[in-house]
Amino acid sequence: MKLHGILPACVTPFIDGRADAAAMQENIARWLETGVHGFVIFGSTGEFPYLEDEERGTILAAARAAIPEDKIMLAGCGAESTERTLRYLREAAAHGVQAALVVTPVYYTRGNTEAQRRYYLDLAEASPIPILIYNVPAFTAYELPVELVLELAQHPNIAGIKDSSNYGRRAVIEVAEGPEDFAVFSGNPNYVFPALAMGAAGSITAFANIIPELMVAIYRAVQAGDMATAARVQVAVSRLHWEIGPLGSPALKAILEHRGFRPGRPRRPLLPLSPDERARAVAAWERAMQAVG
Amino acid sequence: MKLHGILPACVTPFIDGRADAAAMQENIARWLETGVHGFVIFGSTGEFPYLEDEERGTILAAARAAIPEDKIMLAGCGAESTERTLRYLREAAAHGVQAALVVTPVYYTRGNTEAQRRYYLDLAEASPIPILIYNVPAFTAYELPVELVLELAQHPNIAGIKDSSNYGRRAVIEVAEGPEDFAVFSGNPNYVFPALAMGAAGSITAFANIIPELMVAIYRAVQAGDMATAARVQVAVSRLHWEIGPLGSPALKAILEHRGFRPGRPRRPLLPLSPDERARAVAAWERAMQAVG
Amino acid sequence: MKLHGILPACVTPFIDGRADAAAMQENIARWLETGVHGFVIFGSTGEFPYLEDEERGTILAAARAAIPEDKIMLAGCGAESTERTLRYLREAAAHGVQAALVVTPVYYTRGNTEAQRRYYLDLAEASPIPILIYNVPAFTAYELPVELVLELAQHPNIAGIKDSSNYGRRAVIEVAEGPEDFAVFSGNPNYVFPALAMGAAGSITAFANIIPELMVAIYRAVQAGDMATAARVQVAVSRLHWEIGPLGSPALKAILEHRGFRPGRPRRPLLPLSPDERARAVAAWERAMQAVG
Amino acid sequence: MKLHGILPACVTPFIDGRADAAAMQENIARWLETGVHGFVIFGSTGEFPYLEDEERGTILAAARAAIPEDKIMLAGCGAESTERTLRYLREAAAHGVQAALVVTPVYYTRGNTEAQRRYYLDLAEASPIPILIYNVPAFTAYELPVELVLELAQHPNIAGIKDSSNYGRRAVIEVAEGPEDFAVFSGNPNYVFPALAMGAAGSITAFANIIPELMVAIYRAVQAGDMATAARVQVAVSRLHWEIGPLGSPALKAILEHRGFRPGRPRRPLLPLSPDERARAVAAWERAMQAVG
């Protein structure tokens, strides 16, 4: 199945302090009603660095059971050491995950291009499933160089990238200069329409948790050549990001709860929103949703 | 005349070590053949921090004489002190400049929001011509906060912004949240199509010196609703920027010389391109120009 | 036992791909001959983000057995989630560790002062052993604000800080404005002499792995009021850091091997030094060691 | 006369909106009573980017007349273009200035090592007086690489550096690896004692405007081998910097006025302190001055 479309980077529901498989399945069922093309489990929005190993298997199994075969299922498998990432890749493959998101490791390898190259090539050689690079400077505090992305893109087991850079240019270059079948996903909610208009395969964002309808509307409008609609909805998405982006993933959980999903609470040290923040986030979300009538 | 369209931030020709008025006029005549909507004199590409005061008047007079009345003429007037900027604003007004670009001062006021606010409000009160804020972190190493931009946008004598941020989101928010008549110009060559598609007034870029035809093509395509063409040309622009952006304005002078313009040489300490760099820059430019047949 | 002195942040020996308890004990025995005042297990130099949970217990038990009762034993216990850090703190206490280093979490909480405050206060309340804050921007890409450090320093279970900031001023302020018994350890090898001269309790550094003799010499000289000697040795330390700092912890393992320790190899994706780099690192180390005759 | 000692980077008095030569002379007379070894005119504290060309000559002439022949007189001559810097260098020489501080240009050459190299070498070849490099990332937002500093230090007309980096290591390396007669001045008020203890020639700081007595005390203590006193006074200096550093040079003018100097007001867009800030700054200064009894 070709990697494409709108894929929410799903929140992981922590309820009573534990990753809750049943809530995960309920949420997936709700997202399926919005027309999304698949799901990413254990993205940054999924609080993956806070998960215990035993929770990973539970959630993967639950998600796999809830996601129809004709929908895409990706999982974040990045860890700091090559060995642990490989362990997660094998586990994901065993659970029927189609491809893996591998975030750039953060602690020692920031700015170390040679270590980055070896990391991804070692994984690509050994992984039972294809890999998507995951570049997310908001969390890692660095950018994988585009030159290295283009080099890694030549490996047959490196299938694409989720690029959450603020620099929209990156996605354009990765599409234009990468191999034909290298799947570029915009991870920046402000760049979904431009990226799709210029040839990106799709978008994987935190925001697709709370506004999947808007993201799908942008995707469909671009597919249909109706760029004016795509641009109009993008403005609504960008305004929402402007208003609640700084509140982080706790705002997504608050809005999902308001929508009737079961997101649970963020895990410590992330803090839930205050009542005021929550009211503000919900109001901003309601305004944004009017863009799809 | 409404502020809009494709406005090259013109190079200042230094020939035999001096700012050359005749060459400036010849270049303007050449750019006029490409369909641009006007000109910005003394933008960053104009090496404005290297100009002596007496050169400013010479160039402004020459440019004014060469620019038809139905074309827009802006001039960069930013300096470090409020007093000197005011002097430049009055001089620009006396030369018939329509509005002024005022870059955020760099040395002491980086990160000092209150000083920035006072700076722009003092100027807006005293300037004989409207002001456009000029946000260009590549040179100033900071971003004027969008909140402050939106606040300043309420002043009747602050007419718009040239936003050269890498963060495309800024332009979207400035368009969507600013006053109706606040003119947002994308200064980032990678964001021309998206910005125009989402409501920006136009684009002021260094790259419009060397590829005015491509910039005008994007503008016209968006105006005509032909977004597919706009997106296609944008990809060519972004690829060119990817290839020669790091070479800076000396690359623009090299390409302009190749095109038959009279750009002269960069002023010291800027260095002209090496022959190898020059050949590479010209080849990249030729590839990009094929996007407009 | 008062927290003080020169404490190497020990490398974790990975031999045949596994954390090797016997090598750890041999290394500790070697360091004990140099006059160090104690040890930090699982500091950044210990590649703690690459350790599997089962390896932590093995190494802690081995280190505890090898470290005499009259020497200080600290352990790094920081993880991303509050819950996991608490688990590591309890495990460290059970192994007889005196106090814990808790690095600022990196992924979601960079720049989120409120989450940082809650994180450290929650830990301080629940931890069976005292906590030292660990500020290390080279790896975390942010600085815990000094104001927050001073606020946290008031908690009876927050005993000190290892401050590896490049900004030496931080350590001075933390000593001067913190509580009397708040133990400030310089983590920056370039600031050991100044920090000690201005009242720091000691120094915890990567470099104390390879030049414990120099670090102890600085400490003893400052204690004896012989600042000229301390300054002279500091210059040698800073020159060494200038020469091999960019090579990272793999350089420390190479030099330790040269010294006859058993450091093993860095774990992937960290790369061992090339033969050229290794020769250069050893030569620089030999020059530095001449400062102690 | 050998470049050494404590040199305040003098404020430029703006009184009734103009650079005031008589006030400059009065201030110099007051500073001379404190034991400083000389003066720097047109440092960053002198608001040099706000000066008009005609003011430069007036102030230089006044300062030259007020500074005894046995005191050092330096002047800041850096501008953006090589040509203008050369003009300022020649003017400074004509006024009897001993050597010039040349700040790294900020606008186009940030990060462009080759342009930096050519800039300083061109100046060194043509300047009638020796040059000191001036590295001040707080204002320029970049650091001249230490490797380039060491390379430039080989030129006979490049006599030293004022290094205002927050990274104290830089000064140590510049002292240790530079030529014997390369004069390193710490520009960071938090690093005066360590830099002097490790061989720096002296210190040029904004803070020597308001606490010349403390700076001279540190210098004399280090010269006398009384490092304990030097360290004690340094702590007072660092605490003061911690308290008022963020208020910038307007705080220096407020404190100088309190001391009975004639500093005038900062030039726009710099803002004078509010009454509250002023009271806080003066109180912090009074506490610091107690370190010298």
Predicted confidence at residue B293, as pLDDT, reads 76
Q: Residue C168's pLDDT band (boundaries 50, 70, 90)?
A: confident
Give how far A47 is from chain C: nearest CA, Å. 9
Residue C81: closest CA among chain A residues belongs to which residue? A50
For an interface test with A, give the residue of C116, C268, C273, C274 to mutate (most A CBs within 10 A): C268
Phi then psi dihedrals of residue B208, to 5 deg: -65, -10
CB A194 to CB B194 under 8 A?
yes
D207 touches chain C (CB under 8 A): no
Contact status, residue B215 vs residue B7, Cβ threshold 8 Å: no
H runs (alpha helix) in chain D: 21-32, 53-66, 82-94, 113-126, 137-140, 146-152, 168-177, 192-197, 212-223, 227-244, 249-259, 275-289
D172 touches chain C (CB under 8 A): yes
Contact status, residue D177 vs residue D154, Cβ threshold 8 Å: no
Q: Residue C108: its chain A contacts at CB < 8 A?
A: 44, 47, 49, 139, 248-249, 270
Residue C267: closest CA among chain A residues belongs to which residue? A81
Nearest to D194 among C166, C194, C242 (CB): C194
- Other beta carbons less than 10 A from residue C240's beta carbon: 24
Residue C123: closest CA among chain A residues belongs to which residue? A269
Q: Is C202 helix (H, G, I), strand (E, B) or coil?
A: strand
CB A267 to CB C47 under 8 A?
no
Please spell the DSSP secondary structure of A171-188, one letter per residue.
HHHHHHHS-TT-EEEE--
CB A118 to CB C271 under 8 A?
yes
Helix (H) or strand (E) holding C237: helix C227-244
Q: Which of D89, D55, D81, D57 is nearest to B55 (CA)?
A: D81
Residue type, C283: A
Judge residue A91's burial from the number of C-beta atoms within 10 Å of its C-beta, 0-12 exposed, 13-18 middle, 19 or more buried. middle
Nearest to D267 among B50, B81, B142 (CB): B81
DSSP 8-state code for residue A12: P
Contact status, residue D38 vs residue D72, Cβ threshold 8 Å: yes
Q: What is the distance, to the nearest Å, from the Cα of residue B90 to the centroid of all Cα atoms in its chain?
A: 20
Across the A/C interface, how many CB contacts are shorter than 8 Å? 98
B242 touches chain A (CB under 8 A): yes
Predicted confidence at residue D52, as pLDDT, reads 97
CB D238 to CB C172 under 8 A?
yes
Write the secondary structure of B31-54 as one string of H (helix), E (strand) and C (coil): HHCCCCCEEEECCHHHCHHHCCHH
Predicted confidence at residue D5, as pLDDT, reads 98
CB B122 to CB D248 under 8 A?
no
CATH superfamily, region D5-211: Aldolase class I (3.20.20.70)
Q: Residue B119: its chain D contacts at CB < 8 A?
A: 268-269
Q: Compute CA distances D28 → B39, B173, C122, D33, D67, whole Å.
A: 49, 51, 55, 9, 7
Predicted confidence at residue A146, as pLDDT, reads 98
Share of chain A above pLDDT 90, in %: 97
Q: Are β-strands C18-19 and C14-15 bridged in parallel, bridged antiparallel, or unpaired?
A: antiparallel
Residue type, A274: S
Give how far B194 is from chain A: nearest CA, Å. 6
Residues 6+ apart with CB under 8 A from D253: D11, D263, D264, D265, D266, D272
A234 touches chain B (CB under 8 A): yes
Across the C/D interface, how many CB contacts are shorter than 8 Å? 90
B241 touches chain A (CB under 8 A): yes
Q: What is the distance, to the nearest Å, from the Cα of residue C45 to the centroid of all Cα atoms in its chain?
A: 7
Question: Per-block average pLDDT, block size 10, for chain D (293 residues)?
Answer: 96 97 98 98 98 98 98 98 98 98 97 97 98 98 98 98 92 96 97 97 98 98 96 97 96 98 98 98 98 85
Contact status, residue A168 vs residue B190, Cβ threshold 8 Å: yes
Contact status, residue D183 vs residue D175, Cβ threshold 8 Å: no
Give how far A6 is from chain B: nearest CA, Å. 20
Instruction: Name the token pair of A84.
Output: 């642990």
Phi then psi dihedrals of residue D135, to 5 deg: -105, 115
Give how far C193 is from chain D: nearest CA, Å. 8
Q: Residue D176: its chain C contacts at CB < 8 A?
A: 235, 238-239
> Taking 80 as the threshold, does the pLDDT of residue C27 lie above it?
yes
- The angle, 0 to 180 degrees and rounded to 10, between the axes of the packed helices A82-94 and A53-66 is 30
Residues 6+ apart with CB under 8 A from B46: B9, B10, B11, B12, B40, B76
Nearest to B172 among A172, A175, A190 (CB): A190
Residues 6+ apart with CB under 8 A from A52: A19, C84
Q: pLDDT tens across B186-238, in order?
A: 999 999 999 999 999 999 999 999 999 999 999 999 999 999 999 999 999 99
Predicted confidence at residue A167, as pLDDT, reads 85
Predicted confidence at residue A166, as pLDDT, reads 87
Q: Is C151 helix (H, G, I), strand (E, B) or coil?
A: helix
CB D198 to CB C172 under 8 A?
no
B238 touches chain A (CB under 8 A): yes
Phi then psi dihedrals of residue A91, to 5 deg: -65, -45
D47 touches chain B (CB under 8 A): yes
For an interface test with B, give the residue of A149, A173, A232 to mutate (most B CBs within 10 A): A173
Q: pLDDT tens across C209-229, in order?
A: 999 999 999 999 999 999 999
- Cα–Cα distance for residue pair A82/A84, rounded to 1 Å: 6
Q: pLDDT tens across C39-53, in order?
A: 999 999 999 999 999
Model ipTM value: 0.97
Catalytic pick among B2, B71, B162, B253? B162
The whole-number average pLDDT for the span B1-23 is 97
Nearest to B122 among D50, D142, D268 (CB): D268
- Cα–Cα distance for residue pair D111/D272, rounded to 1 Å: 33
For an interface test with A, give the residue of C16, C108, C271 to mutate (most A CBs within 10 A): C108
Q: Find chains touching chain D: ≥3 CB pairs under 8 Å.
A: B, C
C166 touches chain D (CB under 8 A): yes
D60 touches chain C (CB under 8 A): no
Contact status, residue A265 vs residue A14, Cβ threshold 8 Å: yes
> Taking 80 as the threshold, does the pLDDT of residue C293 lie above it?
no
Nearest to D108 among B81, B84, B270 (CB): B270
Q: Compute CA distances C187 → C106, C162, D16, D257, whole Å.
A: 18, 6, 50, 40
Interface of C with D in 256-275 (CB under 8 A): none
B107 touches chain D (CB under 8 A): yes
Q: Residue C176: its chain D contacts at CB < 8 A?
A: 235, 238-239
* Residues paired with D40 in a beta bridge: D9, D74
Q: Which of C17, C84, C10 is nearest to C53 (CA)?
A: C84
Q: pLDDT tens across B145-160, in order?
A: 999 999 999 999 999 9
The whole-number average pLDDT for the span A147-167 is 97
> Taking 90 as the threshold, does the pLDDT of residue B50 lie above it?
yes
Nearest to B105 among D81, D83, D269 (CB): D269
CB A169 to CB B228 under 8 A?
no
* Residues paired with A7 in a beta bridge: A204
CB A169 to CB B235 under 8 A?
no
Predicted confidence at residue C203, as pLDDT, reads 98
CB A141 to CB C139 under 8 A?
no
C2 touches chain D (CB under 8 A): no
- Cα–Cα distance for residue pair D153/D144, rounded to 1 Å: 13
Q: Is D255 helix (H, G, I), strand (E, B) or coil?
A: helix
CB A239 to CB B167 under 8 A?
no
Q: pLDDT tens across B75-100, in order?
A: 999 999 999 999 999 999 999 999 99
Nearest to C270 among A44, A108, A122 (CB): A108
Q: Residue B168's pLDDT band (boundaries 50, 70, 90)?
A: confident
Q: Is A71 a catalytic residue?
A: no
Residues 6+ apart with CB under 8 A from B109: B115, B116, B119, D269, D270
> Taking 90 as the threshold, does the pLDDT of residue A180 lie above it?
yes
Q: Residue C197: its chain D contacts at CB < 8 A?
A: 193-194, 197, 227-228, 231
